[in-house]
Structure 1
Amino acid sequence: MIGDVGVVDDMVHIGDEAMFEAAVEELADRGVEVTGVSSAPADTAARYGVEAVHRIRFDGLDRAASESRLAAVVAGGADLAPDDTAHAVISAVAAADGVIIAGGGNLASTWPLHVYERAALAGLAERTGTPLVVTGQTLGPHLVGRDRELVGSLLRSARRVGVRETASQRLAAELGVDARRGVDDASFLGMTETTQPRAGVLVSLSLSLGGAPREETVARVAALVDAAAATVGEPV
């Protein structure tokens, strides 16, 4: 299972870590052993009590080099150096009963290295006949050219695809995929039964908009918060 996980230089992608953790918990409840694909395998293994391997790595590569590496990995890695980190991922996929691309918002042209990383994982799953599931994604919104081709192929090869919002569901449909719209994978992480009354709507969000138009984005966030408050009849 891959997520944008692994703490490097004290940088924590808290949402991605939470979605990965939620998936680990759900799988563990069903008796499934997880091998994580991580930027920092030792950190991920210790944090979640799972086996972990380093991700394939497309960092710093231009488009041509990324294409060459993608082809070499999906072909099984025979042309890669013996100490290449991709070998551990190739072996992990070959030994797995299933492959999961955990929730996140990195299938976009904003981060081509993440697109290639996940395209390689999907290609390995297809090569070995290993079922692929994609969960809780935000697709794009900036998704063009070769990145769009790779994401489309990745999603079409999956047995199930889950997205977090209607815009991603529409984009998936444009790519020929009937995606299931749900909620963020980590929505119920850490929630326990309680006798204490609950009230109000708690909102937590990032001020980093990833290049989205600020006025339109703020207006849409405000409309979503207003709708949530109206639904529960409580303050924000």
Structure 2
Amino acid sequence: MGDKLFVKIERLRRLYQCTALSVRVQRSEAGGLGLGLSDENEIVEFLNPTNSTSLQIGDQVISVNSVSLVRERLGALLSRRFSHEPALVLLVSRPHQPRKPYSGDVFASLSAQRLDGSNIIEWHSDLWKARPDAVWGAFWTVTLPAATGRVSLALHRSLLLTDPLHGQTVLELDDLKGEDLNTRWHLLRAKGAISSSEIVGEVLLSVRRFASFASVSPRAHLRALENSDEEEELVVTPAQHKTEPLLPVVDLPDPAGD
């Protein structure tokens, strides 16, 4: 049997057109970046002009030196991982104006694909009302076919008669090494996007690749093969969870605002 893959959709945000940019920033004389940030690490003001020419109000900070911000404040990450770095590279998403967020029903599809992008097998979630302020919680635990070269997570809008693709992100299997659970923001890109920097949203995924079934998904569906002691997974839609409110972010001193 092939490797197993656990994928959970934690959250969606910024379901509108943005540009993803890598921006080099400098610390101010006080040691911070001079940024006033929301709980989601969106820039809401500049406290000093140190980085005001390279960043803009409304920029969403996604990662620092390739370390993803999940629910941690930028200042806390800087103190924990980069306290002695005078310069940093931020990955930010910059919204196009005017913002046109999508807030209707959506569903997701997880596809095992060959290296050329052709689908081998696809699994769908149930419908969900897109809410950036809530946890989605749909997940899959699946057996990857032997020919799988990569995995695609696609988000579809559910309209009256059609289900157009909103955006998708690709998980390269070579990047999923070991059996650690990895949670980070992934960029959603529209099909046929001219530039890889043009995105239409962000999805927070928890992903784990492993060699045998473990307790990562206690509700994984198994059945015994006929006349065999081996087990394989039933192909089912992911378990759905009641929408949960986001936990408040503890307001700690923020070195990014110095």
Question: What TM-score do the two structures reach when normalised by structure 2?
Answer: 0.23
Say which structure, 1 or 2, has more relative contact order (CA 8 Å, 6+ apart).
Answer: 2
Bigger radius of gyration among the two = 2
Please state which structure has a larger fraction of its residues in helix: 1
Please state which structure has a larger fraction of its residues in strand: 2
Question: What TM-score do the two structures reach when normalised by structure 1?
Answer: 0.24
